[in-house]
């Protein structure tokens, strides 16, 4: 079995880096998410807007989950 640093991520938990709550919550959950194969990234990261093909305004509307296969989930669907 590959260790956490060698395997391909299942996806990325994308959070609003401008939100105080989100900016505290995501890093605190980083290890638990990594155990499940997920990395965290700020919605404001340059690669995120490019990958999701969304405007800054659209990106800032909700918490998002980007799966490794390109599927995108937002809001309640992402939390589940």
Report how far residue 52's alpha carbon sits from residue 43's, in angstroms, rounded to the nearest whole number: 10
Would you call 48 helix, strand, or coil by DSSP?
A: helix
Q: Indicate whether 55 belongs to any domain.
A: yes
Secondary structure E strands in 1-80: 11-15, 38-42, 64-67, 72-74
The candidate with the shortest Cα–Cα distance to 42, out of 60, 58, 67, is 60
Would 34 be classed as within a structural domain? yes
| 5 inside domain | no
Q: Is residue 43 part of a domain?
A: yes
Q: Is residue 36 part of a domain?
A: yes
What is residue 79's predicted lDDT score, i.e. its pLDDT?
77
Residue 1 located in a structural domain:
no
pLDDT digits (tens, 9 = 90+) for 27-74: 899 999 999 999 999 988 989 888 888 887 777 778 899 999 999 998
Whether residue 39 lies inside any domain: the answer is yes
Residue 63's domain comprises 11-79
Domain count for the chain: 1
Asked if the structure places residue 4 within a domain, the reply is no
């Amino acid at each position: 079995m590959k260790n956490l640093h060698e395997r391909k991520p299942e996806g990325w938990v994308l959070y609003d880096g401008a939100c105080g709550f989100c900016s505290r919550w995501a890093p605190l959950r980083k290890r638990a998410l990594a155990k499940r194969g997920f990395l965290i990234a700020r919605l404001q990261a340059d690669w995120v807007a490019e990958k999701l093909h969304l405007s800054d305004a659209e990106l800032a509307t909700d918490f998002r989950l980007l799966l490794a296969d390109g599927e995108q989930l937002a809001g309640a669907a992402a939390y589940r």
